[in-house]
Chain A
């Protein structure tokens, strides 16, 4: 695992998230479920908690974006770059952007939303890319059945090195 330069981390354990918009390619309930599951990947192994908020600014704002979306990192259409996220911090810090032109799914077709968001949340929490091919924080996409997903040890070691182990 690799920390993001400057070792940014959230100063609170109780974080908030907000889903700003939805992709028409999936049912909203499936998007909500994928995001909740992706957040639990990290909250299960750390003291972090994530509360969903509406109509207010959240620590982690999640949105589907097109091409140039005013953050200096335009998306590139189908395939290629699937999503990106920002390191912990105020404003855009922690936010997750997903390329709306990808074929988002809840299964093995196209790109599995849960897998991609779980990876991006690693960046939102302060992790950078790992060169461990089996790690969730490896840069290239690879599909794992969400029902069988277990956070790999490299990622557990990384996130616990930042926030400690789960209180549970």
Chain B
């Protein structure tokens, strides 16, 4: 069945968020897919850390303001200590 546009967007959004947090906020790469809930908590925690750094509202959700920052061209050095 054709994937609903929203689901496809959601997939792309998740990919953007995960790679941004892996690159710049030391989110561990997804080596244990069967621990999906544990990873989800880690992702939310890192997302909050990124939102706090950029002075955004700390929602733990990839809202529009957060995604807008993540799409901006930037320096490749991480924002947090690794």
Contact = CB atoms under 8 A, between A and B. Distances in A.
Interface of A: 5, 73, 75, 79-85, 99, 102, 111, 116, 119-120, 123, 128-129, 131, 133, 139-141
B74 interface: yes
Contacts of A75: 76
A75 to B, nearest CB: 7
A80 B73 contact: yes
A128 B77 contact: yes
Nearest to B20: A80
Nearest to B24: A139
Q: Which of A73, A75, A111, A140 has the most CB of B within 10 A?
A: A140
A82 B74 contact: yes
B73 A140 contact: yes
A81 B53 contact: no
B55 A82 contact: no
B72 to A, nearest CB: 4
B76 A141 contact: no
Is the contact region of chain B dominated by helix, strand, or loop, or is it mixed? loop
Interface in B6-62: 23-24, 53-55
Contacts of A99: 76
Given A5-B81, A81-B23, A140-B69, A133 B74 contact: no
Contacts of A119: 75
Nearest to A102: B73
A80 B16 CA distance: 11
A160 to B, nearest CB: 21
A82 B82 CA distance: 20
Contacts of A5: 81-82
29 contacts: A5-B81, A73-B76, A79-B73, A80-B73, A81-B23, A81-B73, A82-B74, A82-B75, A82-B76, A84-B77, A102-B73, A111-B73, A119-B75, A120-B75, A123-B75, A123-B77, A128-B81, A129-B53, A129-B75, A129-B77, A129-B79, A131-B53, A133-B55, A139-B74, A139-B77, A140-B72, A140-B73, A141-B72, A141-B73
